[in-house]
Amino acid sequence: MEQVRDTEFYLSGSDGYEAVKNASFDREPRMIFRIGYVNDYGENQGIRRDLKDYVSVVEGTVLQELRYREGNSMEEFVILDRSYLPEMAELYKSTFMREPWNDDWSDEEQLMEYVKEKSGGLRAVNYGLLIDGKLAAVSMGQITHWWEGTNYVLDELCVSPDLQGKGIGTRFMSMIESDLRSRNVKGIFLQTDTDKPSYRFYQKNGFKDLSKHVSLFKGF
């Protein structure tokens, strides 16, 4: 029996229609996709078409939401607003209070203030991946305008501990990069510890060391 994979792309503005109309497809038709867009009035306009394995959407459109079925799970890539703060804090705590980080986030008030700070910048863009309606991955950061170009400063990224090692982090990062390209962002800046698995994860996903960059701290 033919494998069926349901996918929904939601694109903002009138460019959304052009993205669908001008999309390019590779390989032989094997999957069924549902593609839609959101017009300038916020109305959801759906298009049902039998398409092919891979969809490359024209650049210049802002990705609002991406839903697709991976195996038996439904995944949703979303922009997180303040209503997600409790879930963001809980996921962050569950990730970094265990090995290899062992951060002590037992102070719930301190935890919530930290998440608010990292997700509440002037040009904050916070991404989430929902799996079957539950927050499974989070990116907290903001867009900054540097003289060399506009970048995304990724302050925190975490994947639910019980879902790590399954390719979800890499897939999530790819979704983030696609959305940032549509916002004319030229790169992602982040910091991590060289003795943690996250360092190898970022290297695997194309990040390079900044040889002349160093982190400094002065305690009081």
Q: Which domain holds residue 99?
A: 80-204
Per the domain annotation, does 215 fall within a domain? Answer: no
Per the domain annotation, does 210 fall within a domain? Answer: no
Per the domain annotation, does 190 fall within a domain? Answer: yes
Q: Are residues 93 and 13 in the same domain?
A: no
Q: Across residues 9-14, what is the average pLDDT?
A: 38
Q: Are residues 29 and 95 in the same domain?
A: no
Indicate the range of 66-75, 113-122, 124-133, 169-178 predicted with least confidence: 66-75
- Closest C-alpha to 126, from 116, 138, 135: 138
Q: Are residues 87 and 195 in the same domain?
A: yes
Q: Which residues fall within 8 angstroms of residue 212, CB to CB, at 6 or more apart?
A: none
Enclosing H/E stretch for 86:
helix 85-96
Q: Are residues 90 and 44 in the same domain?
A: no
Which CATH number does the domain housing residue 116 bear? 3.40.630.30
pLDDT digits (tens, 9 = 90+) for 37-50: 333 333 333 332 33
Q: Buried (b) or exposed (e) across 162-184, using 16+ Cβ within 10 A?
A: ebeeeebbebbbebbbebbebee
Q: Are residues 96 and 200 in the same domain?
A: yes
Q: Are residues 127 and 57 in the same domain?
A: no
pLDDT digits (tens, 9 = 90+) for 201-219: 999 999 999 988 888 988 8
The Cα-based distances of 138 to 5, 86, 142, 149 in angstroms read 24, 12, 13, 25
Q: Are residues 189 and 123 in the same domain?
A: yes
Per the domain annotation, does 182 fall within a domain? Answer: yes
The two tokens of residue 144 are 């900054």
Q: Are residues 124 and 174 in the same domain?
A: yes
The Cα–Cα gap between 95 and 22 comes to: 41
Domain count, the chain: 2
Q: Are residues 23 and 112 in the same domain?
A: no
Q: DSSP states of 103-147 as a string?
A: -----HHHHHHHHHHHH-STTB--EEEEETTEEEEEEEEEEEEET
Per the domain annotation, does 57 fall within a domain? Answer: yes
